[in-house]
């Protein structure tokens, strides 16, 4: 039953995102219900769900590559808030990632890090 609800939620989110006129853009955008990033090199889309907790990757054929809740999956400790939500979500590369393109995220608790584009693995970088 939980899996069915998860798939239903995911289907609804994808329909909302793809029905938004701005979803065909190849850069970061805000839709009424979703946030999406597109890696132009691979045409992979990365979605931040409406609760600002889950991030998932979808390839150019619509196949879900991975889904993660970086805070929970990596067992980060509570810090400033009981359940942090993502307030920053962007593709970037810099010296901290070896100039490899990643998804940088920051939580409203000030915890931050980045996700590997291929695996969704989160690397915690710190907190203020």
User: For position 30, what pLDDT does the model report?
Assistant: 42
Q: Which domain holds residue 87?
A: 2-126
Domain count, the chain: 1
User: For position 62, what pLDDT does the model report?
Assistant: 86
User: For position 106, what pLDDT does the model report?
Assistant: 95
- Measured in degrees and rounded to the nearest 5, phi and psi for residue 24 equal -85, -10
Q: Which pLDDT tens digits describe the chain residue by residue (128 residues)?
A: 566 655 555 555 555 444 443 344 333 434 456 799 999 999 999 999 999 999 999 998 889 999 999 999 999 999 999 999 999 999 998 898 889 999 999 999 999 999 999 999 999 999 98
User: For position 9, what pLDDT does the model report?
Assistant: 56
């Amino acid at each position: 039953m939980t899996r069915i609800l998860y798939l239903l939620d995911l289907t609804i989110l994808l329909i909302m995102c793809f029905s938004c006129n701005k979803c065909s853009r190849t850069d970061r955008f805000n839709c009424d219900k979703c946030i999406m990033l597109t890696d132009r090199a691979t045409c992979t889309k990365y979605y931040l769900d409406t609760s600002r907790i889950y991030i998932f990757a979808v390839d150019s054929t619509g196949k879900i590559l991975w889904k993660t809740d970086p805070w929970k999956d990596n067992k980060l400790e509570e810090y400033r808030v009981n359940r942090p939500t993502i307030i920053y979500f962007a593709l970037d590369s810099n010296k901290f990632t070896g100039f490899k393109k990643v998804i940088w995220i920051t939580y409203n608790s000030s915890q931050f890090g980045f996700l590997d584009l291929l695996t969704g693995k989160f690397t915690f970088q710190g907190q203020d």
